[in-house]
Amino acid sequence: MAADKLRHELRARMERLGGTVTSYALRLGFASRFLAYMVMHSGTALRRFRLTIAEVYFAGVLSLIIILVSGLFVGMVLALQGYETLQRFGASESLGVLVALSLVRELGPVVAGLLFASRAGSAITAEIGLMKATEQLSAMEMMAVDPIARVVAPRFWGGVISMPLLAALFSAMGIFGGYLVGVQLIGVDPGAFWSQMQAAVDLRADIVNGVIKSAVFGVAVTWIAVFEGYDAPPTAEGVSRATTRTVVTSSLAILALDFVLTALMFTGGNAL
């Protein structure tokens, strides 16, 4: 009797687990189909480029303040912390190298990506989700306007264009913040600060790889954001949940992708 009950319970659990896995796989498949459809129907977004420009404004220009201010502070903190450690080894001239490499390789793309996900990604999801909840998307379909081509694709391209620029601005601002604290405040020699940085930072291996990273993050974050918005249940609760999911999923995606990309780029693939 007890064994029967246990078996029943176990079976129900296995079914629930299977159901969860299947629904995740289904959602991922739908998301991939959605991405393919969106890219193929990007003609309107690129031909009427003004639509995309407006989205670059909302995703990029409006994120500028948070990106610039956080970049400045991250650079300043890096310089303070780095100096504390480096001067113990008598290597405080390497401060520029430390600040520049950490920003260009890792912190620029990753932190800018996380900020972008929470500032612009959530806004994109909420906007598309609300348009769906208020049946604006259905209204467009009634007027024979494809909502994916008219609403979703411009937001996607706007985000993809903005993200690498934001990451570059973040890194540049961070290096400026490191210069302010390291050279102006602490008094590291400015010549050593810049020349050691230039000797250590490689254009191809560090800067181009950083830009590639930020572009990958841009695609991932905006894809997640537009998909969550489009897929949101058309209720107030559904939209709010979708917005939360966008921030959580894209933050995790950024960190996971960052590990993979770093392993591929900076260890020559040895770590994988």
- Interface ranges with another protein (CB under 8 A): 50, 53-54, 56-57, 60-61, 64, 89-91, 100, 104, 162, 164-166, 168-169, 171-173, 175, 194, 197-199, 201-203, 206-207, 211
**What value does the CA radius of gyration of the chain take, rounded to a whole number of Å?**
23
Please name which of 144, 133, 142, 153 lies closest in space to residue 232, comparing C-alpha atoms. 133
Q: Give me the least distance between CB of 245 and another protein, in Å please.
A: 28
| Shorter beta-carbon distance to another protein: residue 179 or 223 | 179
Q: Give me the least distance between CB of 204 and another protein, in Å please.
A: 9
| Shorter beta-carbon distance to another protein: residue 95 or 169 | 169
Q: Give me the least distance between CB of 156 and another protein, in Å please.
A: 16
Q: Give me the least distance between CB of 86 and another protein, in Å please.
A: 11
Structure tokens at 17: 């687990």
> Rounded to an integer, what distance in angstroms lies between the CA atom of residue 29 and that of residue 257?
19
Q: Give me the least distance between CB of 168 and another protein, in Å please.
A: 4
Cβ neighbour number for residue 205 with a 10 Å cutoff: 12
Cα dihedral 122, 125, 130, 132, rounded to 10, equals -170
| Shorter beta-carbon distance to another protein: residue 101 or 239 | 101
| CA atoms in the 13 A half-sphere facing the CB of 152 | 29
Burial class (CB in 10 A: 0-12, 13-18, 19+), 146: middle
| Shorter beta-carbon distance to another protein: residue 59 or 128 | 59
| Shorter beta-carbon distance to another protein: residue 213 or 245 | 213
